[in-house]
Structure 1
Amino acid sequence: MHSTYPIGTAGQKWDEAERQAWRDQTTIKRHYQHEVVAKIKALGEQFNVKQYGALSYDPDRYPLFCIKSKPWHCDKPVVLITGGVHGYETSGVHGALQFAQSEMARYSKHFNIIVAPCVSPWGYETINRWNPLALDPNRSFYANSTAEESANLIKLVASLGDNVLVHIDLHETTDSDESEFRPALAARDGIEYEAGMIPDGFYTVGDSENPQPEFQAAVIESVSKVTHIAPADDKGEIIGSVVVQDGVINYPMVKLGLCGGVTSCTYGTTTEVYPDSPKVTDQECNAAQVAAITGGLDYVISQLK
């Protein structure tokens, strides 16, 4: 399907002029400091809140924080929770914060836990998938990344060593993926836009190089108690990928530069909530993210016994 995006010339990749035009039409729509940073800092007595970087676009406005369990025991496996890699995916950010507020202390008995709840705060404020350079942080997890958001998280993960056992990356699939972000991507790359279908419900993306189907199933089972699971389409797919089990597809995480490949963890998954469904509320979306984490961690605990 051909789509005329308002920026750029059909069939031509964007240059800096087009990227600037795209950047100029972005606006601040919500407040990272008030809505996210304040909640992170409120956890400072219970956990170790650390700044692991800042975005050069405005370092004072966009500091990057993580929340770490304390005390940190060297003999415990590490769990990494990331949210807001795509800043516009609201429940990724607030689901991570809700987990830290309500469940992290309990699971810290079994794990060292580190939560990076908002990897892309500029994207959070402008409700965008990209960063200001029209780069997708969730395709930028590779050596010498040009996306600051990704590079800062890579550095944080490197500081954890090689003992990250679990990584759960919290995302959403929204109607705006088809109305705005995928058409913009096609325009930026000078290719023709082909319309897709947004799945109605929750699903996960495993690593095709390490799929861990029983772990994925535990996540899906836990989430199914909170919200509905996305069905496969008439091709047996979700967003163009084969459904390998109920509510699960797989991607090659490292090859695609996805956040899900930022560690060499044994158990990893990327969650996808559908916040635009008439069947859910914002709070249910946050609760689904928490259920994904707890379901996954409960499974891992059962394997460690």
Structure 2
Amino acid sequence: MMKNRKPDGCREVLKLKIAIVTGASSGMGREFALQIPQMYKNLDELWVVARRTDRLKSLQEQVKIPVRIFDGDMQRDYIFEKLQRELDRRQADVRMLVNAAGYGKIGNVSDIDLKEQCGMVDLNCTALTRMTGICLPYLSKGSRIVNLASAASFCAQPGFCVYAASKAYVLRFSQGLAAELKKRGILVTAVCPGPVRTEFFDRAGALAASEKEALCAEPEAVVTQALTDSVRGRSVSVYGAAMKGSRILSKILPDHLLVWGMMKINHADI
């Protein structure tokens, strides 16, 4: 019997090994799209998702494996429907899913446009959950999910309230999902960086304090550690001593002290 045949004599269907990265047009998502093919040599294609088509085409020219572009708004149904059809049609084996799409707005809840606040929840939480759910049937033993959370998820943050809460969801969702998928041999890692030098703050607003600017990390280093932590099977990836210290403090200090501290750091008008 030929090696590529099933017991019933039918020829084995060779699945397309892919990685999927959302938010791939800039920042952390773009950096993941650049680094993943360097670390995982057996991928057939990289699928990238974002709104800005021109940015994705530029990225396509920089990646050495075939890149399939899915340009669209992840707060709309059509992009998910298109992905679902392609996953089915191409018999995809999703070796890695990176949920990097998201945004934040600095400011008090009373001062930020309500549509922007709900948009944060839609993109950071709902779209991430939907993308994960669509891809789950196409993940197999050894596959990995990497979700972009934030060090902001470690405690409530006056002045950055909705964003921090949305990233707390991502962290807890990832930890729970990791436990659910353990028997399938699928690893889930929540990435929790502090400030990263990307376009994030162009939309979020200026950093609230000079201390945060001093703590800004480079996206290349954060992504390299995140991928390394994913390979090692770590459920949470935290870059830098300062952010690791913040995580420890969030487990030790009472909530009211943490909130008071973040209010001072973020200069929240409370």
Q: Using structure 1 for the length normalisation, give the TM-score.
A: 0.36
Larger Rg, first or second structure (1 or 2) = 2
TM-score, normalisation: structure 2: 0.39
Higher helix share: 2
Question: RCO (CA 8 Å, sep 6+): is it higher in 1 or 2?
Answer: 1
